[in-house]
């Protein structure tokens, strides 16, 4: 009797341990999933940690350290975070671009299939030579961009936003607002042509004099990117 009782107790104990392990594993998985927070809707400083997109497609997660803040809006084609008053990092799924004109305001047209080539050939931008890059396991190209010479009678839409014509309109968002580049600023641009079938354009930007400080901080965020699927 005694040995049989010991066996039954051992079996019960083993079952209890197994249930506890399963419960802890489930909790751990939930904690891992919940670790990536959604971005605040209002602009505010971000606590260091992992964040995920809610509206932007293709979905992604990324990690930030100190010094980053949320931007006002996340949309299906835009996700931005900022660093200070004049710098930031954005993920874009561009659907429309501003085709440059020599006179008047630029025209809105469908985004080109070769986004990297379009930016490289833009007459009012100066770009560095593209270099291969990988973000979240997806290959693409990266290059730097600044505003170049513009015709005398070119009237960018961004004039009404920045208060000066010394800017270039690049992309129009689903919200109706433009993505632009201001003279004196510098942007690092990454184009990934096939993220779950979509072209994703990533840009990190700041005054040119501060770009050397921004670039490594933006790189830390980009190294943490994971594309999460639909």
Query: Which DSSP letter does residue 181 get?
Result: E
User: In which band, very low, low, confident or very high, does the pLDDT at 94 lie, cut at 50, 70 and 90?
Assistant: very high
What pTM, to 2 d.p., does this model score? 0.84
The pLDDT value given to residue 30 = 46
Provide the total of helices (H) and of strands (E) in the chain, helices listed first: 4, 16
pLDDT given at position 31: 46
- Helix, strand, or coil here: 71? coil
Q: What is the pLDDT of residues 125-164, one digit of tens each?
A: 999 999 999 999 999 999 999 999 999 889 999 999 999 8
Which of left, alpha, beta for 184 (phi over 0: left; psi -120 to 50: alpha)? left
CATH placement of domain 37-227: 3.40.1000
pLDDT surpassing 50 at residue 69: yes
Average pLDDT along the chain = 88
HSE (side-chain half, CA atoms, 13 Å) at 117: 5
Q: Which of 141, 123, 125 is nearest to 133 (CA)?
A: 141
Domain residue extents for the chain: 1-34, 37-227
Residue listed under structure tokens 């710098």: 87
């Amino acid at each position: 009797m005694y040995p049989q009782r010991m066996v039954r107790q051992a079996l019960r104990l083993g079952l209890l341990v197994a249930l506890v392990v399963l419960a802890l594993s489930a909790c751990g998985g939930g904690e891992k999933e919940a670790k990536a927070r959604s971005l605040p809707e209002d602009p505010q400083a971000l606590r260091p940690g992992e964040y995920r997109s809610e509206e932007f497609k293709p979905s992604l997660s990324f990690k930030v350290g100190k010094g980053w803040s949320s931007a006002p809006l996340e949309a299906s084609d835009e996700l931005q975070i900022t660093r200070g008053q004049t710098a930031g990092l954005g993920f874009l799924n561009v659907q429309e671009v501003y085709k440059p004109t020599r006179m008047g305001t630029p025209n809105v047209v469908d985004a080109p299939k070769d986004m990297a080539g379009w930016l490289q050939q833009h007459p009012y931008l100066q770009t560095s030579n593209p270099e291969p890059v990988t973000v979240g396991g997806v290959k693409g190209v990266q290059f730097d961009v600044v505003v170049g010479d513009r015709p005398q009678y070119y009237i960018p839409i961004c004039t009404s936003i920045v208060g000066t014509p010394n800017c270039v309109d690049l992309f129009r968002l689903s919200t109706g607002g433009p993505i632009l580049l201001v003279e004196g600023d510098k942007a690092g641009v990454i184009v990934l042509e096939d993220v779950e079938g979509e072209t994703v354009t990533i840009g990190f930007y700041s005054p040119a004099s501060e770009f050397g400080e921004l670039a490594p901080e933006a790189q830390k965020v980009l190294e943490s990117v994971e594309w999460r699927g639909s």
